[in-house]
Amino acid sequence: MRHGNKINNLGRKSAHRKAMLANMACSLIEHKRINTTLAKAKALKIFVEPLITKSKEDSTHNRRVVFSKLHNKYAITELFKEVSVKVADRPGGYTRIIKLGNRLGDNAEMALIELVDYNTTYSPKATKKKTTRRSRAKKAEDIKQESTTVTETTEE
């Protein structure tokens, strides 16, 4: 029975797992997207989303709480200055996991985890190129006039 065993241990002891997730979270904040295995991406999503929620309110207490998890002051500065501004109006769901297929060496499922507001191809706020509709087909008279002007210019 697995009562109360909700955490994915990822085959590591708790100290190793916490350090790995902290390093991955710092990389995600710094680079805005990282490639990893699907299991690690799902564990990272659970780890980093509450930290991003904390960063919405910039207070000394919240900075200390996030620092106790990440241990990287550069990542915390980036999180509280840039990332929190982009996600200020979002009520949750700050990350996106995209499955990439299997890794060649060991056939592990790979995934791309990224911050949602930093990818413009998936966001609905992306400005699309305005398409114009073509008008109806040209009439026979217009085509004759164009062909006569083309022949006149070639003869000269």
What would the pLDDT profile of 103-152 be if each residue is shown by its tens digit?
Answer: 999 999 999 999 998 887 875 655 556 667 766 666 666 666 666 665 55
Average pLDDT over residues 42-63: 96
Query: Model pTM greater than 0.85?
Result: no
Dig out the tokens for 90 from the structure.
Answer: 């979002």
**How far apart are alpha carbons 145 and 133 in whole angstroms?**
24
